[in-house]
Structure 1
Amino acid sequence: MPKARYKQVVDILATEIRSRKLRPGHRLPTHRQLASQHGMALVTASRVYSELEAMGLVSSETGRGTFVRETSLPPGLGVYQQATTADMVDLNFNIPFLSEQGELLRAALRKLASSGDLNSLLRYQPHGGRTVEREIMASHLAGIGLEVNAENLLIVDGAQHGLTVTSMALFKPGDVLAIDSLTYPGMKVLAESLGLELAAIPADGAGPDLNALEQLCLRRRVRAVYVQPTVHNPLGWVMNTARRYQLINLARQHGLMLIEDAAYAFLEADSPPPLAALAPERTVYVSGFSKSVATGLRVGFVTAPREYIPLIERTIRATTWNTPAVMTSIVCGWIEDGTVARLESDKRQDATYRQAIAAEVLRGLHYTSHPASYFLWLPLPEEARADRVAKELLDNHISVSTALPFSTSLQMPHALRIALGSVQSDELRRALTIVKNVVETHIYA
């Protein structure tokens, strides 16, 4: 049986793209032009492009057209995939690390080995953590203005696990979560895994557009808002106090739960109060010590209204039973002796220094960042395409992320998210110089 005409056109275009006859970034004919060229209906031409897009060969951009994608990028690049070759400079994945941390761990293990309660760390722990450890973490939160009872705090295996157990416990497939149009990729992956619908909210200056959120709530039955009010990833904003109260008022008016992700909040030394402090009755606060201490210490915490605690605790049991006791013990010891506070301060200084390097090297390029964050957001002008820039940087042994893993809206911007916290400062300067040269080459080509 002969192939349908539109299938033949799909095959022709796919072959031309894969053979590089049609180069990445090439603008394809409009739907109407394609229909005219091949004697097909407009709806059939649209079907051709839809199939090519599903194959990952083209991208359709509202108001701009349909473009050939860069197909030679490795699968998953930018979805927090670490560089896998020794000569690759990783500006994609953030692993903030200070030189003295190895010795800190060595000393902590020696101290732990000489403690009298070592055998207890080899046994199962309570699902939400031992009471004394929950009290220590609650005292840590009090230092940032979040007063919470230990009974309302659960210890988890890092912030991502905190988001996972919260979502599994409190949402069901089909629930609608409002979320920034650019956001943390881990939440996107989690929502997809659990069958949650993400409704994108555009940005409005230093935070989500709350008018757009209100209109969304009038149209849809929104269950919760996922928000990063303090050092947003990837845009770096810090919502001011007035905007936080506006968000809370909207949440109360429409019966919304607030999921506050504070993984990078430690980088803001003078933050407004957390949402969980302003609206404890409807806010789940999630954070951890992966960025502020070390990514290998998979320890975090969730605070929540009392009625949610048994549901989340049961989900901890279903996923990991309990946080590994050895790591939790080390983190709690570091909270008590001031190590966590010192590392947070040192990392703020380190991130500020790295941002200064970026400001010097990238002078002339417009980008968005927080002055003490480990990442920046680099929008590209219309004439430069993110996939082609990322591919050329990869050819230069530099790994960066495009907007793809961060975008929750249909209209994905052409931009790069550049991580600053995984390489030495001299290597960072060299890599950023190459980034600037490559971007400018694509702008002025």
Structure 2
Amino acid sequence: MTKWIPKRETLDRPLHISIANLLRDAISAGQLAVGERLPPHRTLADNLSVSVHTVSKAYDELTRAGLVGGQVGRGTFVLDPAQTSSQPFLMERTDQGVIDLSIARPLYDNLHATRMQSALMELSSDLNPDTYLACRPNIGLEEHRQAGVEWLSKCGLNVSAGNIVMTNGVCHGMSTALSSVARPGDIVVTDVVAHHLIISLCAYLGIRLQGLQMDEEGVLPDAFEEACKQHDVKVFFTVPTLAGPSVSLMSQERREALVRIARQYDVLIIEDDVLGPLPEYRPIPISALAPERSIYLTSYTKCVMPGLRSGYLVAPEALLPTITGRLIVFSWMATPLISELASRWTKDGTADELVCWQRKKIAERHAIVAEELTGFDWAGHPSALHIWLHLPEQWTSQNIVEHAKALGVAVAPPQPFMTAQCQPLNAVRIAVGGVPHPDRFRQGLTLIKGLLKRSPEPLPQLL
């Protein structure tokens, strides 16, 4: 541990910023070397006559800057700049240096920051004031919906601007769509292992959600048809691209079979296609096969940039008045300024550039998974943002989540994705894009692999 301690009289207010700046300068000057352990929070607080909370805030500032990192049970250490993210922000959850493999989100780095900074500079010089002053039309500005026509064609959907509603991402579109076509007590069917937000949303809206049996492609046509025979099914909600425990692409034949059943029993379809054009080769959307009864949702969030919360809802003309009414109640309209950024990036090719970058980086992460988890039962796809890891019989999902947490790794348990009809699922979901640096990602997988090779132990021995 370092013996370097700043002096109390050198501090200014706010104290935590001043402490962080002194430590930053010491790291830059080489007074604190790479790998050196910083003083414990209490020790530094006592030496400087400040609160432990103040020191914690100072360390948090340095962690966010990527200069230091915590290791569970060991302390806080100076990081090697060459081994940390060079971006001016950190995606990784910083609480005690947790390697967060629990949230399926895309990667990003300085390329994204540079593109966003350039876009904001352009907006400051040539943005039409109508964009940031707009409060109508509620479905979105015409030029933004026209850009949506271009983006949606990359997703395999050919539509007119008149059928497009701008949204603040797929989650916004999902709540708008479902509340437009289903009422309390109506039955919605989906995969037995489902999108966790459709489970929550149906519960909030008082809608009865029924999970249908599935295979590696998704919902089984026979299960869908049987549900339609037994019940008055109102909506079929599906994520046919890289979802479910198999993380696979639903085939063209399966999509066509499900559409035939939906038409036969007059069931509406809500298709969540959040990954948009990220998979390089895939069948056309279900909504392209049945545009008269489908609501299609996609966004830029998962395949271009996490903070670019702009998306599209495509619906038949007959549903647009109801959808617009729900949109007004929930948010009045999607944020025009964000829609403007997305539209510009679609037109100038930036969105395509970032999709290609994302596709390449996610494929590299899957290569790491294939190396580290050789011999274990896992399912994934080179364009997916997560994998499902099926556990050896000595482990339960709850045990592995708890033991991984004790080692500083966060993985997602299956329960949030399981409908009421789902049989127990002994697996965990592992995100491949939540950790910015590939070495940290590999480290997280290595720790999990080490757990899988042995039996669970009493957790107090690990804490």
- TM-score tier by shorter-chain length is 0.7 to 0.9
Q: Which moved more, 1:293-302 or 1:396-405?
A: 293-302
Conservation of the 8 A alpha-carbon contact between 1:403 and 1:417:
yes
Aligned: 1:403 with 2:414: yes
Conservation of the 8 A alpha-carbon contact between 2:104 and 2:431:
yes
Q: Which residue of 1 aligns with 2:98?
A: 88
Structure 2 vs 1, CA of residues 234 and 313 (structure 1 numbering), >3 Å: closer, same or farther?
Answer: farther
Tell me the TM-score normalized by structure 2: 0.76
Aligned: 1:356 with 2:371: no
Between the aligned partners of 2:188 and 2:396, the Cα distance in structure 1 is: 30
Conservation of the 8 A alpha-carbon contact between 1:83 and 1:90:
yes
Q: Which residue of 2 aligns with 1:106?
A: 117
Conservation of the 8 A alpha-carbon contact between 1:234 and 1:375:
no
5+ residue gaps, structure 2, are 1-91, 459-463
Of 254, 258, 268, the residue aligned with 1:243 is: 254
Aligned: 1:421 with 2:443: no
Structure 2 vs 1, CA of residues 203 and 84 (structure 1 numbering), >3 Å: closer, same or farther?
Answer: farther
CA drift at 1:268? 1.3
Between the aligned partners of 1:206 and 1:141, the Cα distance in structure 2 is: 23
5+ residue gaps, structure 1, are 1-81
Between the aligned partners of 1:88 and 1:254, the Cα distance in structure 2 is: 48
Structure 2 vs 1, CA of residues 192 and 96 (structure 1 numbering), >3 Å: closer, same or farther?
Answer: same
Q: Secondary structure at the match of 1:258?
A: strand
Deviations 1:345-388 (A, max 9, x none): 11111111100000100111011111221210011233311101
Between the aligned partners of 2:123 and 2:115, the Cα distance in structure 1 is: 12
Conservation of the 8 A alpha-carbon contact between 1:231 and 1:267:
no
Structure 2 vs 1, CA of residues 411 and 84 (structure 1 numbering), >3 Å: closer, same or farther?
Answer: farther
CA drift at 1:215? 1.2
Q: Which residue of 1 aligns with 2:447?
A: 434
Structure 2 vs 1, CA of residues 405 and 84 (structure 1 numbering), >3 Å: closer, same or farther?
Answer: farther
Between the aligned partners of 2:326 and 2:245, the Cα distance in structure 1 is: 29
CA drift at 1:96? 1.4
Tell me the number of residue pairs that the alignment of Structure 1 and Structure 2 aligns: 364
Structure 2 vs 1, CA of residues 387 and 419 (structure 1 numbering), >3 Å: closer, same or farther?
Answer: same
Structure 2 vs 1, CA of residues 274 and 120 (structure 1 numbering), >3 Å: closer, same or farther?
Answer: closer
Between the aligned partners of 1:433 and 1:127, the Cα distance in structure 2 is: 49
Conservation of the 8 A alpha-carbon contact between 1:231 and 1:265:
no
Deviations 1:234-282 (A, max 9, x none): 5311111111110100111111111111012433111111111111011
Structure 2 vs 1, CA of residues 268 and 443 (structure 1 numbering), >3 Å: closer, same or farther?
Answer: farther
1:310-329 matched pairs, under 5 angstroms? 310-329=321-340
1:3-402 matched pairs, under 5 angstroms? 83=93, 85-99=95-109, 100-118=111-129, 120-402=131-413
Conservation of the 8 A alpha-carbon contact between 2:186 and 2:207:
yes
CA drift at 1:410? 4.3
Aligned residue identity for 2:447 = I
Between the aligned partners of 1:378 and 1:181, the Cα distance in structure 2 is: 17
Q: Which moved more, 1:228-237 or 1:217-226?
A: 228-237
RMSD across aligned positions (CA): 1.7
